[in-house]
Structure 1
């Protein structure tokens, strides 16, 4: 129990209790709590020191955000533009514009973005 708590600081006593059950070790959740308390191991929220901003910084290379924005052409046609932003580089990618976005077109654009990101990462590693 103590090893699980030390190696996984975000796990609380109920998670540790569940993992012990998976391993075939039967103990009451209150017993797990008492053992951790007696060992001086604080509850999980007090053991974890990772803040949300620190998490985002550490995962920035893998994070993308996307959204539509509206724009109008010179002829007055309304278009919806799908844009992605890479959090690490703050690079914005415009993946397409359409007057009538559909779920399948957005899915395809996301797949295209994924393929472009993988290709770019592979060329940087070379």
Structure 2
């Protein structure tokens, strides 16, 4: 099943660890085989909203068993390494496996589909095992 969690939809609740919507979102991500974790580049890093969401994973292994793809949008090539330098470390710190490089999409690009398709074609074999080996209880 595909799920989309947009942290903007429950931004104020990110400060309340007892909020049921946040707990459900954390459960969905924790139980995922593959998670694309995306953020715009903001002040040369990922957004504060994403940081608040990732802080909800209480333990260092909160994403253990999840294969993650760090994805960031940015205004220019100067931030092209942001997914690798900023988002990958926090995902691995939370226990996620990040077997492929992060994906950076320039926000001024009108057509992301060819970039995403090229990335998928290149890295699918590294990302696929998560979908084959993980079982959800």
* TM-score normalised by L of structure 1: 0.31
Which protein has the bigger helix share?
1
| Structure of higher RCO (CA pairs closer than 8 Å, 6+ residues apart) | 2
* TM-score normalised by L of structure 2: 0.29
